Amino acid sequence: MENQSNLNSIPVEKNFDFSRHTTYGAGGKCKVAYFPKTEGQAAELFKELSGQKEKFFVLGRGSNILASDAYYNGSVISTQNLNGIKTVKDAIICQSGVTVSQLLKFCQINGLSGLEFLAGIPASVGGLTLMNAGAGGKYISDVLIGCTVFDGKLRNFLNKSCDFGYKYSTMRDINCIILSSVFKVERTSGQYVENNISKYLKNRSLQPKGKSCGCVFKNPEGYSAGKLIEECGLKGYRLGGAEVSRAHANFIINNRATAQDIYNVIQYVKSIVFNKFGIMLNEEVVYIGEFNDTDC
């Protein structure tokens, strides 16, 4: 672990603006964000903030986040400086702040295949692991060997200990910071990896354009959330600057919206789908701060 003098060297940003650090491009500010440069700093900072019983949030690329417009009276631990990558035999060890684009560039240069399905996901390794992210029928749980987390103690979780499920890992239920993840890969040519990346990027190019968090809702068992929303006639539904995408009903697009606009559309969609089908949609998006529940 790092000593206090090293903690004092952690870069900080006061009046941290969530709208500049989330893919939704919405939200207010918090008093300070910390940008630890080592796993030791991140763990020690996590421990210190936990001990102070101060509100704080661990933030990666902000691709699955909706932060309130209101001031968040707490702190952020950003993982963006934790961007180390290395290979050990037929595996890649990635720190939690490594982005998908950084990871896949490394794979292409070194001829390492198996992670190309992540192409185009605007997330970092920590968030991917936490959410068991996936695309094209493949998930992080298919390729993860294990991860290192800190929850007051340093812990190494093997894949089976993560209890992966649909958009779920056990790390979502414990107060921890993911420091790094280990993925299995296969050695091949860089050209093969590049071709696969291009294929997945082409598929993702069909997704709706504009600022969003991707799919807002999980698919209920046996159903498509987007299809349920579409069958309620909600494509194009708009409140303020937030709009249900006309291209894919499980996307809510920010067209100069406030975070509250987006939240209101989410709640409205949930209520309409429940009233029509008796199915309560559950969000993938994670909320930070307080939102007003109003009749939309």
Give 12's pLDDT tier (boundaries 50, 70, 90): very high
Tell me what pLDDT residue 7 has.
74
In this prediction, residues 260-267 reach a mean pLDDT of 98
C-alpha 72: how far from chain center: 19
In this prediction, residues 237-247 reach a mean pLDDT of 97
What is the per-residue pLDDT across 177-213, written as a single tens digit (0 to 9) for each?
999 999 999 999 999 999 999 999 998 877 889 999 9
Tell me what pLDDT residue 1 has.
46
Q: Is the pLDDT of residue 2 over 50?
A: no
Alpha-carbon dihedral sign for residues 156, 158, 160, 164: positive
Distances (CA, A) of 226 to 246, 252, 267: 11, 11, 15
| Angle CA 252–254–259, to nearest 5 | 95
Tell me what pLDDT residue 207 has.
83
DSSP 8-state assignment for residue 217? B
d(CA 46, CA 255): 35
Instruction: Write down the domain spans for the chain.
Output: 4-78, 85-204, 225-288
What is the per-residue pLDDT across 46-101, written as a single tens digit (0 to 9) for each?
999 999 877 999 999 999 999 999 999 999 999 999 999 999 989 999 999 999 99
Pairing between β-strand 186-187 and β-strand 154-158 as defined by DSSP bridges: unpaired
What is the per-residue pLDDT across 123-179, written as a single tens digit (0 to 9) for each?
999 999 999 999 888 999 999 999 999 999 999 999 999 999 999 999 999 999 999
Tell me what pLDDT residue 281 has.
98
DSSP 8-state assignment for residue 169? -
The one-letter amino acid code at 291 reads F
Is the pTM value of this prediction over 0.75? Answer: yes
Options 3.30.465.10, 3.40.50.720, 3.90.78.10, 3.40.50.300; CATH for 225-288 is: 3.90.78.10
Residues making up the chain, counted from first to last: 296
The larger pLDDT score, comparing residue 206 to residue 223, is at: 223
What is the CATH number assigned to the segment(s) 85-204? 3.30.465.10
Q: Is the pLDDT of residue 6 over 80?
A: no
Other C-beta atoms lying within 10 Å of the C-beta of residue 224? 14
Contacts of 202 by beta carbon, 8 Å cutoff, 6+ apart: none
Query: For the residues of 67-134, what is the DSSP string, one character each?
Result: E-SS-EEEEEEE-TT---EEE-SSEEEEETT-BHHHHHHHHHHHTEES-GGGTT---BHHHHHHHT-E
In this prediction, residues 91-114 reach a mean pLDDT of 97
Tell me what pLDDT residue 200 has.
92
Q: What is the mean pLDDT of the chain?
A: 94
Question: 225-288: same fold as 85-204?
Answer: no
Name the E strands within the chain.
12-17, 29-34, 56-59, 65-67, 72-78, 85-87, 91-95, 112-113, 134-135, 138-139, 144-150, 154-158, 177-184, 186-187, 238-239, 242-244, 252-254, 286-288
d(CA 286, CA 267): 14
Largest separation between any pair of C-alpha atoms in the chain: 58
Q: State phi, psi for 108 to the nearest 5 degrees.
A: -65, -45
| Residue written as token pair 């020690």 | 44
User: Are 90 and 184 within 8 A, CB to CB?
Assistant: yes
User: Are 98 and 84 within 8 A, CB to CB?
Assistant: yes
At 14 the three-state DSSP class reads strand
Tell me what pLDDT residue 136 has.
83
Q: Is 3.30.43.10 the CATH classification of the domain at 4-78?
A: yes
Q: State phi, psi for 288 to the nearest 5 degrees.
A: -120, 130
